[in-house]
Amino acid sequence: MGTGTILSHSEKDESWGLYATFAAKMSFAPHEQYPRGPRDNYYHFSTEHGRVLQEYQLTYISSGSGWFQSESLGRDKLIPLKEGSLFVLFPGEWHNYWPDKDTGWVEYSVGFNGSRMHELVGKEFIGKEHPVLSIKLNDTIQTLFSDLIKVAMEQYPKYQQVLAGMISNIVGYALYLDGNSTIDVDYFERTIISAKNLIKEEFMTITPPEIAERLCMSYSNFRTIFKKYTGISPSKYIMSFKILKAKELLTYTDMPVKEVATGSGIDNAEYFSTLFKRETGISPLDWRELSR
């Protein structure tokens, strides 16, 4: 399961100093083949032999774990990757990486190139000797990647310049987090970030008690902590994702309201219409008309 696209660029885009070549989000279940095939393999990547690219790539692991190798660190050295790992691939540098078979993983990736990144490497802001950054689970980084992929998929005019700014933002913020990685994040904050990630990935089916169970917490304790840190209950947070999905389906498809409800994780169409109006102030069909 995944979303992604190869991106074209012009000489003018190159003159901006930074341009994107592809963007993708991919999910791999435990014991699933990695990569699955041509559709999810933008550069004919093989974990058997590794590869060498002529561009930079950033990949963020939002869940799961795995392994990383590179020429500069030694081809025989395995660097562990875990939730919150972000690694950088460099042009001309052999590398290899893959998810652990027992965990799978969710990865956000962007490929890019340009003189701005060459300057950062040349001035030793970032280098091949430290390709795996310790940023831990971070909502901001994940949101930046999600927004970047959305812009890449839409490809409105001047999208390459917008992506260049997003990539710079990710690189700068990742370096900031890595530089402060010795400062431990509060346990409860890490728990909330993990819960949010589960909701983002499985909001259509997951329930608050299931989240608590997967985080090895009692439901009452989990609900109290979640509401304290977010200001809303877990069920309300999940519902917000369902409404967001419904808005997307109403705006970008011609699906009947009943199918929109199902596609948003709400089986009862009548309840969905009532809920949607309560949350947005207008009916699903009125939303569709206004959004278009």
For CA atoms 120, 121, 122, 127, the dihedral sign is positive
Identify whether residues 157 and 21 lie together within a single domain.
yes
Q: pTM higher than 0.85, yes or no?
A: no
206-229 average pLDDT score: 92
The total number of structural domains that make up the chain: 2
Give residue-wise pLDDT tens across range 199-209. Answer: 999 999 999 99
pLDDT(291) > 80: yes
Go through 1-29 and write b for each residue having 16 or more CB atoms within 10 A of its CB, e for each that does not. Answer: eeebeebebeeebeebebbbbbbbbbbbe
Domain boundary residue, one of 125, 160, 179: 179
pLDDT band at residue 40 under the 50/70/90 scheme: low
Do residue 23 and residue 130 come from a single domain? yes
Question: What CATH number is given to the structural domain containing 267?
Answer: 1.10.10.60
Task: Provide the pLDDT for residue 25.
Answer: 95
Evaluate if residue 186 carries a pLDDT over 70.
no
On the question of pLDDT at 79 being above 90, the answer is yes
Residues 6+ apart with CB under 8 A from 179: none
Q: Are 64 and 204 in the same domain?
A: no
> What proportion of the chain, given as a percentage, has pLDDT over 70?
95
* pLDDT higher than 60, residue 149: yes
Confidence of residue 185 (pLDDT cuts 50, 70, 90): low
Residues 172, 59 share a domain: yes
Q: What is Dmax (Cα atoms) for the chain? A: 60
Mean pLDDT of 169-181: 89
Domain end among 151, 179, 207: 179
Question: Are 157 and 190 within one domain?
Answer: no
Angstrom distance (rounded) from CA 223 to CA 233: 6
Q: Is residue 137 very low, low, confident or very high in pLDDT (cuts 50, 70, 90)? A: confident
Which amino acid, 83? E
Same domain, 165 and 189: no
Please report the beta strands in the chain, taking only residues with DSSP state E, as ranges in sequence order.
2-6, 19-28, 51-52, 56-64, 66-70, 74-81, 85-89, 94-99, 105-113, 132-134
Q: How many angstroms separate the CA atoms of 52 and 93, rounded?
A: 6
User: How many percent of the chain have pLDDT more than 90?
Assistant: 79
Domain that includes residue 153, residue range: 2-179
**pLDDT tens, 231-288?**
899 999 999 999 999 999 999 999 999 999 999 999 899 999 999 999 999 999 999 9
> The domain spanning residue 129 has which CATH number?
2.60.120.280
pLDDT for res 182: 62
pLDDT in tens, 101-124: 999 999 999 999 999 999 999 999
Q: Mean pLDDT across the stretch 88-108?
A: 96
Instruction: Tell me: do 251 and 144 sit in the same domain.
Output: no
- Inform me whether the pLDDT recorded for 181 exceeds 80: no
CA distances from 229 to 133, 202, 212, 215 (A): 26, 21, 15, 16
